[in-house]
Structure 1
């Protein structure tokens, strides 16, 4: 399979095999140029600020298209961890309330809820079965005192994709909110922000941008009265109102969650990178990622590797996770061969995006074979002589 985009459009991608998108992606040249544009724009004073506002509006419109929503339903904060913590702090929890999470969740989706134990809130943790969690598993822990369910669309740990649409259809029959982390899916597979109450995503992974931005999609259907417990000048209707030292009013759209300026270099870069994704088409990207993933899973299985990620295409996205007690060591060995994967926590992870092709898969498999033989030789060398 050929890639959907020429590797020359990225900085340094022609000198390595990048299977690391679950951690971060290589830099798009147009995104790098956009950051440089921002730096030049700063010299224009007021005109520069006007351009910032225009690019921010364009970026929100692009992100909204990717999420199937509207620009006014998108907010930009500093990172996804901040967003999860902000939402956790905004819910009026009472002693005896509970939150439901699961064991395939990234720490950013776990830690803010643990703080709530001090308020008498119970954190219910759903255990995975063979590295998968289903809507049924989650709903079994939901009751009348469950205020919110937090889950990733695609697990950073196992690569399994959750059927969040089915989960949300059930949660809408209750008062329980759904916070969906799309950090490991948005830009790789389709995501619908109207099939959750909140959608959060980082800027620097599958969206092909850089660090510095957390994206929040706010579905207004059940959240029209939901207000943050922190604020800033960007969140209010009139920061210079005559009674600004006595009171304020929140904006009604998603901007009420923004406290100050976003990282404009990131906004400029994200505006360009998301446009690249939209031009190619997320449906095409998803098919490419799933087909190339099937190729990799099939060959790894033939070689005897134990795959954590489901083989069925509808139950995975770009992350393919393989059990390994020495995943971090293996990742380091592959890095010496200019092949980038993520290793640790009992596995190594191969992440496939639109710029990957069958040659990348072949190069990885060849390197894995060399690493295996090298490890076997080292083990043989340690045996006691007869």
Structure 2
């Protein structure tokens, strides 16, 4: 058991795989277990989950610097990005980062039959290429190696060129302080740094972008009066971001509500400093440059196998071993990685 930032984590030694799957605090796992008990005994009431889901909207909004009323709920980042991709005009020119996580790029690439064209450029070149495109879709922190987008440079370029921006915060929200109320869309999945179960995701929609977002997965849950939108026509969707809701997976949101509320209560600058300091300590030991990110990609020979043999839980991404340091990690975890890699 580890204690960090006011929470307990029943986590195995040297778990460095948060960029793949986050480990929940004990109280979050307890909330999911309580859901299962209530489900098992028939004590669940569907309407009771409306407040739980709305709690996650507010918490996600606080974590990314966006008003909670702008936030829609879903199950996966790609599903929510698809609402944006379906709404782009025929022939739209979309700019993405080279090697971008495909949950960001594939929904737009799937629109090729409408003439939608995707251009990839190195992450550092994204701000400079904005004016030549009709939309930018990019992760704030890249999944494969933890590279961090120059958000302010992108904002300046997008505002000057009047080009809409979609930002994926799946590898950023939960450890990085964010203020993204200027972006047209902000999407994030909950099962990594947000320490929630898989199956919960959010999309913040700026009011100016609402008409360019298509509720292609509309259901009763997106109805203006949810519990009176279950049967029959006409279409009657909510006016705000709720019109883009996908009916939530209740077990996931049972854990997401306490997980996001917990993270939103923390000093995220302290969380950022903690994770980045551990990552930089590792980078110094293996002769890598600082990156202002808690994610480190390691290309040492047989890195994945050597880490696994040493009891380090990591992942393989883009031909390298990838580790990530979150709030429950310590300097001892860094030391074990260094020993494993010699």
TM above 0.5: yes
Q: Which moved more, 1:330-339 or 1:72-81?
A: 330-339
State the Cα distance separating 1:116 from its structure 2 match: 2.0
Determine whether 1:138 maps to 2:111: no
Residues 10 and 280 of structure 1, relative CA distance in 2, 3 Å threshold: same
Query: 2:90 maps to what in 1?
Result: 94
Residues 54 and 5 of structure 1, relative CA distance in 2, 3 Å threshold: same
* Secondary structure of 2:34's aligned partner: helix
* Secondary structure of 2:166's aligned partner: strand
Residues 361 and 155 of structure 1, relative CA distance in 2, 3 Å threshold: same
Determine whether 1:318 maps to 2:294: yes
Query: 2:74 maps to what in 1?
Result: 77
Query: 1:384 maps to what in 2?
Result: none
Q: Deviations over 1:321-357 (max 9, x none)?
A: 2334x5xx43233223321122242222121111111
Counterparts of 1:1-386 in structure 2, within 5 Å, are 4-5=4-5, 9-11=8-10, 13=11, 15-42=12-39, 43=41, 48-91=45-88, 93-95=89-91, 97-126=92-121, 128=122, 132-139=123-130, 142-143=131-132, 146-220=133-207, 222-230=208-216, 231-238=218-225, 240=228, 244-245=232-233, 247-260=234-247, 262-301=248-287, 307=288, 311-313=290-292, 317-324=293-300, 326=301, 329-369=302-342
TM-score (norm 1): 0.80
For residues 312 and 63 of structure 1, the distance between their equivalents in structure 2, rounded to whole angstroms, comes to 25
Q: Which runs of 5+ in 2 are unaligned?
A: none
Residues 175 and 65 of structure 1, relative CA distance in 2, 3 Å threshold: same
Q: Could you tell me whether the CA contact under 8 Å between 1:34 and 1:265 is conserved in 2? A: no
State the Cα distance separating 1:135 from its structure 2 match: 4.1
TM-score (norm 2): 0.90
* Secondary structure of 2:137's aligned partner: strand
Residues 190 and 6 of structure 1, relative CA distance in 2, 3 Å threshold: closer
* Secondary structure of 1:193's aligned partner: coil
* Secondary structure of 1:280's aligned partner: coil
Q: Which moved more, 1:333-342 or 1:99-108?
A: 333-342
**Structure with greater Cα Rg:** 1
* Secondary structure of 1:223's aligned partner: helix
Q: Could you tell me whether the CA contact under 8 Å between 2:295 and 2:325 is conserved in 1? A: yes
* Secondary structure of 2:270's aligned partner: helix
Aligned-pair RMSD on alpha carbons?
Answer: 2.5
Q: Which moved more, 1:331-340 or 1:210-219?
A: 331-340
For residues 266 and 109 of structure 2, the distance between their equivalents in structure 1, rounded to whole angstroms, comes to 40
Q: Could you tell me whether the CA contact under 8 Å between 1:183 and 1:206 is conserved in 2? A: yes
Q: Deviations over 1:95-137 (max 9, x none)?
A: 3x311112131121222222222212221121x2xxx524434
Q: Could you tell me whether the CA contact under 8 Å between 1:6 and 1:355 is conserved in 2? A: no
